[in-house]
Structure 1
Amino acid sequence: MTKAIRRYDTLAAARNWLPNANGEQSQSMNITEIFGENTLQLEALKERLPKEIWVALQRTIQEGEELNSKVADAVAVAMKDWAMEKGATHFTHWFQPLTGFTAEKHDSFITPNEGGGAIAEFSGKELIQGEPDASSFPHGGLRQTFEARGYTAWDPTSPAFIMENQNGSYLCIPTAFASWTGEALDHKTPLLRSNEALNKQAKRALKLFDVDTKRVGSTVGCEQEYFLVDQEFYYRRPDLMTTGRTLVGAKPPRGQELDDHYFGSIPERVLSFMLEAEKELYKLGIPVKTRHNEVAPSQYEIAPIFESSNIAADHQQLMMITLKRIARKYGFECLLHEKPYDGLNGSGKHLNWSLSTSEGMNLLEPGDNPHDNMQFLFFFSAILKAVYENQDLLRISIAHAANDHRLGANEAPPAIISAYIGDRLEDVINQLLEGDLKESKQGGLLGLGTPVLPSIPKHAGDRNRTSPFAFTGNKFEFRAVGSSQSISFPTVVLNTIVADALDEMCTQLEEKVDGDNSFEKALGAVLSDTLETSKDIIFNGDGYSDEWTEEAKNRGLLNLPTTMDALPLLTDDKNIDLFEKHKVLNEREVHSRQEIWAEQYLTTLNIETDTTEAIAKTMVYPAAVRYLNELAESVERIQRLELDNSGSMAMLQKVNTGINSLNESLEELREAVLEGEELPLMERATHIKDNVIPVMTKVRDSVDFLERYVADDYWPLPIYREMLFVK
């Protein structure tokens, strides 16, 4: 029998990178010099525009005034000149369709002239509007094939930027993307609309507290978790290549049990990658602040500081693109999937969300005495009300196939939406409900047990890693967002539901004050009423416990463990009414998103199913049979020598049992897939959740069983031990 030859060398992966292996000399980085050099910030644009043009552009950005052609032409010329100074030869309208990724079509600045030469041109019309065919992007029934025209429209609130390549560069102009009927086909348009809704209601609330501001907006800072895996292993794993996660793979002897990776010393190769990635991000004006090892082996995190939510959403997409691009220069692949490895921590994208005025006031800053800060309590109560009344929307906003693997395990929050607020604020709320608000619990100082170390300020509330929506001092942290997804729709939901809660509370407060109540008395009544109806959303305990699941049920909180438990609720009347009331999404746009996301869920799992079958049938099964034959020959030889063959026979039986189990589970998987093929979209997606995924788990169990018994030199796939620890 011909013995299988091992198709890869683990040592090769360990040796395939050395410092400067990418051919570049290391250079020190001066952040202040390079920060934003590839971004056309407003100050740089101001220097290139006549004063009257600049003033008109500011009115467009700050007040929403329509941009006229004269201003557009002037901006276009300034933008083109700046880009060409940076070496750009092309421009693109950079947009974010409902795929969750970005899209771009490049056009040259060069236009032929009558003399046979060429000139560089870029007009205001080209700046303001583009017309990609875009017929293949998801639309969820918003347009038919014969009316597939789509338009991109310049977003002047997000700065243009340069993307560099070793052979050139091009100008990217952030844009919205809509159908020719004006309906949103992207993530940016609803985000901008939700910012307007939030601005309107937050300014209304501040006026009640005698605070004037030009604008209020949500600010966002997102922690991005990711894994790195050597390309030697990545390209030998069909599952990683096609799905982003390992569909099979036995638990290694060592995973994250020792807790030694978290915040540990960053390996040299990884640090080199991080430094170059950060340099590229700084050049794009992305204010990355933090980097560190995460909990699981080969898992890492990068996090920027807060920015306005629209710019933050653009920057998050650029961050993911940059991480993946730079990783390849160092022989890595960057895995952004929520659960690349079974049994280890998944990756999230914690969405830190707050409210800020254009003058820089953080409306979620409690101050030293939050019981005195009634303005803070008003906005804080509105957010709790919004979360309580819209648990379904928050869960839907982070619902997709990849995140289903992560929620509720290995430090990811559970699918039950609740809010952690800490002991200090819970005490304030209890006093409010009792009608006797007098004092706040103070943080005090935390002694460290030795005079050598100083006492440090102690927060009045601990962090709760099991909470999906936690207040962390002066912001809320939506911890359930998945690492691969766009932050736009979770932010849209937060903006919209908080705008709605503010609207209702402002109306109540205005009515009570008009009824001859003092402002303070009316405010106290509104806060008490709001908190009384929404207090069940507050939970400071262990979100992983069985007791919480039962308690949440008793409180009437929703438990929607999977995407297909949550997604059907998107088109409930209350949700359509909410989005239409605040002009964020119309009914057709809401229905389109439900259809798109159900189809993406279905397609994702179909790809995973086919890949699982292919790996099992064409890689694992042949390897196991070859080894079975070798064992069978060994058993026969030992028997002919009249020696005890019980050990070899036991191993033979184990492998044979594993092969039989694999064959049975594969047949069951194919039957389960075929049973749902003729069902309507939503029913088919639910069928896959209920009937196909459990059988995929059976196939995985059979493969993982065989991995533990088949000889290492026969096994065709890189294993967890190699992928996690070779770096």
Structure 2
Amino acid sequence: MKEVLDAITEGKSEVPARNRKMGIGVQVLPDFKKDTTDRNRTSPFAFTGSRFEFRMPGSTTSVACPSYMLNTIVADALMEIANKLADSSDIKTDAINLVKEIYIKHKRIVFNGNNYSDEWVKEAESRGLLNLKSAVEAYPHFTDKKNLELFKRHHIFNEIEATARQEILYEEYCKLVNIEALTMLDMINKDILPAVSSYVKDLSDVVMSKKAISEDVPCEMEKNLIVNLSSACDCLYAKAGTLDQYLLEVNTIEEISDAANYFCAKVLPAMNELRAITDELETITAAKYWPMPTYGSLLFT
């Protein structure tokens, strides 16, 4: 059956001679047109006609996991097609009918618009498609019954091996987010807050110096900066304390999947809030005080 499948996928005009003995006659195979649209530019995980493209994975990220999953899925689909065409006496007609059947069954996943748009999010939901926005939402599906059966059917993983890999994914997620959160707290407490405080002190000294000359000397700019910087620093300090408390609490969670969900629901949003305040502080802190290179210096120096 592999030769029959090869004939279909490679566009050969005849089936192998060996299969003629099985009752499969010599037929002209259907000529399927390739997709010539530009869908791949609006897909985060693009299929370009003959291959999938992985869009800029992180330097520590391996494509091994999605690769073996994709290969297993394709192998399973081709096996199903081969089994249905195994006893065909009219390969052309049956292949065309099978393609129609498969497309009708799965056409809800086809979308030719912008995959990054809100339009597709709404459309996908109306079609009953999953919209998993984080790794933690996706990990539970690793051991769905249909996936375990798929892996077992092709001798990829048994249930114990699949569950072990799922646990590894959870643990890796927890460790990475924990390291990043601790690093963020370290940068805030040891670099950013002291640097901004030094700037506030110097601004305060400028105000005092001006007032020593005359109460009429204007210093609204320095006063406003002092107020804004001090308010932002207080907010940053308070939210850093909240993040620190979350990291202490997550250590009490025993189940690794629950810990991963806690990191996703609590720790990451807290980190995003800290990032927003820090970005604001960077825009109003004099460059010579800021402890890290600015985006401008990184780009243009």
Q: Give the alignment's TM-score, normalised by structure 2.
A: 0.86
CA distance in 1, matches of 2:118, 2:250: 33
* Equivalent residue for 2:256, pick from 676, 681, 691: 681
1:206 is matched with 6
Percent identity (aligned): 33
* Structure 1 residue 203, shift from structure 2 partner: 4.6
CA distance in 1, matches of 2:251, 2:54: 35
1:182 is matched with none
Say if 1:464 and 1:540, in contact at 8 Å, map to a contact too: no
* Structure 1 residue 636, shift from structure 2 partner: 2.0
SS at match of 2:42: coil
* Equivalent residue for 1:721, pick from 287, 296, 299: 296
1:597 is matched with 169
Say if 1:467 and 1:479, in contact at 8 Å, map to a contact too: no
Letter matched to residue 97 of structure 2: A
Number of residue-to-residue matches in the alignment: 283
1:472 aligns with 2:48: yes
* Structure 1 residue 204, shift from structure 2 partner: 6.0
Higher relative contact order (CA 8 A, sep 6+): 1
SS at match of 1:465: helix
1:672 is matched with 246
Q: 1:568 to 1:203 in 2, by over 3 A?
A: farther
1:601-612 superposed matches below 5 A: 601-612=173-184
SS at match of 1:478: strand
2:133 is matched with 561
Q: 1:470 to 1:645 in 2, by over 3 A?
A: closer
Letter matched to residue 283 of structure 2: R
1:258 is matched with none
1:300-315 superposed matches below 5 A: none
1:332 is matched with none
2:285 is matched with 710
Superimposed CA distance per residue, residues 351-373 of structure 1 (whole angstroms, 9 cap, x where no aligned partner): xxxxxxxxxxxxxxxxxxxxx86
Q: 1:470 to 1:644 in 2, by over 3 A?
A: closer
Say if 1:560 and 1:566, in contact at 8 Å, map to a contact too: yes
1:628 aligns with 2:203: no
Q: 1:725 to 1:644 in 2, by over 3 A?
A: closer
Say if 1:632 and 1:652, in contact at 8 Å, map to a contact too: yes
SS at match of 2:52: strand
CA distance in 2, matches of 1:575, 1:541: 29
CA distance in 1, matches of 2:2, 2:157: 20
Say if 1:579 and 1:586, in contact at 8 Å, map to a contact too: yes
Letter matched to residue 467 of structure 1: S
Letter matched to residue 648 of structure 1: E
CA distance in 1, matches of 2:291, 2:45: 42
CA distance in 2, matches of 1:639, 1:694: 43
Say if 2:246 and 2:266, in contact at 8 Å, map to a contact too: yes
Q: 1:634 to 1:469 in 2, by over 3 A?
A: closer
* Structure 1 residue 622, shift from structure 2 partner: 0.7
Letter matched to residue 618 of structure 1: K
Say if 2:43 and 2:116, in contact at 8 Å, map to a contact too: no
Please report the RMSD computed on the Cα atoms of aligned residues, expressed in angstroms. Answer: 2.3
* Structure 1 residue 649, shift from structure 2 partner: 0.7
SS at match of 2:80: helix
Say if 2:4 and 2:16, in contact at 8 Å, map to a contact too: no
CA distance in 1, matches of 2:229, 2:143: 50
* Structure 1 residue 207, shift from structure 2 partner: 6.7
SS at match of 1:690: helix
Q: Give the alignment's TM-score, normalised by structure 1.
A: 0.37
1:521 aligns with 2:76: no
2:270 is matched with 695
1:109-120 superposed matches below 5 A: none
Q: 1:502 to 1:658 in 2, by over 3 A?
A: same
CA distance in 1, matches of 2:130, 2:54: 17
SS at match of 2:41: coil
Bigger fraction of residues in helix: 2
Q: 1:487 to 1:211 in 2, by over 3 A?
A: farther
